[in-house]
Amino acid sequence: MPVGTQAAVKGVLPRDLMNDLDAKIILGNTYHLFLRPGHETVRQLGGLHGFMAWPRAILTDSGGFQVFSLNSLRKITEEGVLFHSHLNGDPHMFTPESTIDVQLALGSDIMMVLDECIEHPATYDAARHSTQRTVRWAKKGLEHFKRHDDGNRAVFPIVQGSMYGDLRRECAEQLVELDARGYAIGGLSVGEPRPLSLEMTEITTPLLPADRPRYVMGVGMPEELPEYVARGADMMDCVLPSRNARNGCLFTRNGRVLIKQTQYKDDARPVDEGCGCYTCRNFSRAYLRHLFQAKEMTFSTLATLHNLQRYLDIMREIRQAILIGKYPEYLRACR
Ligand SMILES: [Zn+2]
């Protein structure tokens, strides 16, 4: 899922996301949209779909991750989490119920429950305590959602447990009892070694219902996507393709192109000869390097289009390999 934090995938028009890239779903950020422009404003303007002219699916996170990562002054109680706006310092509280209300106002199709994001590394006791709270919050959030459930949206609970396999298992087993329409695995990509993120995913996914989406939050590098899928992930989101694009790092079938390098100064080839995106169909590496050096906005747009296409192409290849029963071969070739 391309990430559209503030109701925009940075540098790319929704029209191009839909017509060129054929993205089926994008991600919005509850914390940021709650603070600005405010969920009631978004509700009045047609929800996120109307507000940003994106008719396809939208997933919103619960805001928990940003509360924990952007706020040094937060205070966690059983009721919820108190925090201060990073924009103007105003105090706010998110509860398991209020984050669902905010996401309902945003009109998202897939909502996430409020979870407690644990710092890495965490002690076993701290992780256990926090994971148990995440389960209690998930129950409250889902119960609240049931009162507003029109059958057209889903709320996903989030498996936490830090880097402790037994806590992950315990958390997953308790969340499965809630019979949600999909499940997420959170608390990864928080600074742990990458093999550990894969290991935690591998421990968790077999415990989640195979007939419902399993969403691994905040991963990963292009070469990791097939690895997560091999471990049972159906959905992923990551800011890497768009953020790296803006910084001049382009992902290709043959590795990374750092566009500012002198070797691309007169390079007439597209970024990736095997790529069918608008950028690769029309522009040379030399042109992109020039735009990057000149700090032209167009660079960000063209680079982001390409990187998102690369990610979506990888997922399309993965789906195709699964459909024809050749996933093990595909995975071996990727490795
Ligand atoms: Zn391309």
The DSSP-derived string for 55-96 is -SEEEE--SHHHHHHH-TT-EE-SS-EEEE-TTT--EEEE-H
Taking Cα atoms as reference points, which of 153, 156, 131 lies closest to residue 234? 156
What mean pLDDT is reported for the chain?
96
- Could you tell me the distance, in angstroms and rounded to a whole number, from the CA of residue 272 to the centre of ligand 1? 6
pLDDT on residue 180: 98
The lowest-confidence range among 69-83, 202-216, 229-243 is 69-83
Would you mind telling me the total number of residues written for the chain in this entry? 335
For residue 69, pLDDT beyond 90: no
pLDDT tens across 111-158, in order? 999 999 888 999 999 999 999 999 999 999 999 999 999 999 999 999
- Could you tell me the distance, in angstroms and rounded to a whole number, from the CA of residue 306 to the centre of ligand 1? 4
How far apart CA 141 and CA 105 sit, in angstroms, is 15
pLDDT tens across 276-324, in order? 999 999 999 999 999 999 999 999 999 999 999 999 999 999 999 999 9
Q: Cβ neighbours of residue 173 under 8 Å, at least 6 residues apart?
A: 207
Q: How far is CA 287 from CA 272, 275, 284, 291, in A?
A: 14, 17, 5, 6
* Cβ–Cβ < 8 Å for 75, 61: no
For residue 72, pLDDT beyond 80: no
pLDDT tens across 226-269, in order? 999 999 999 999 999 999 999 999 999 999 999 999 999 999 99
Taking the CA atoms of 324, 3, 13 and 107 in sequence, report the sign of the dihedral they define: positive
The pLDDT of 45-64, averaged and rounded, is 96
The pLDDT of 174-185, averaged and rounded, is 98
The pLDDT of 155-172, averaged and rounded, is 98
**pLDDT over 90 percentage in the chain:** 95
Q: How far is CA 296 from CA 10, 176, 262, 303, in A?
A: 14, 49, 18, 11
237 is known as an active-site residue: yes
Q: Indicate which residue of 61, 115, 272, 313 is catalytic.
A: 61
Residue 15 φ then ψ, to 5°: -60, -45
- Could you tell me the distance, in angstroms and rounded to a whole number, from the CA of residue 198 to the centre of ligand 1? 28
Q: Indicate which residue of 16, 20, 115, 237 is catalytic.
A: 237
- Could you tell me the distance, in angstroms and rounded to a whole number, from the CA of residue 264 to the centre of ligand 1? 16
pLDDT band with cut points at 50, 70 and 90 for residue 73: confident
| Nearest-5° Cα angle at 110, 205 to 35 | 120
Count of CB atoms situated within 10 Å of the CB of 298: 14
61 is known as an active-site residue: yes
- Could you tell me the distance, in angstroms and rounded to a whole number, from the CA of residue 298 to the centre of ligand 1? 15
- Could you tell me the distance, in angstroms and rounded to a whole number, from the CA of residue 275 to the centre of ligand 1? 5
Q: Which residue has the tokens 């990888």?
A: 314
pLDDT band with cut points at 50, 70 and 90 for residue 36: very high
Three-state DSSP at 265 gives coil
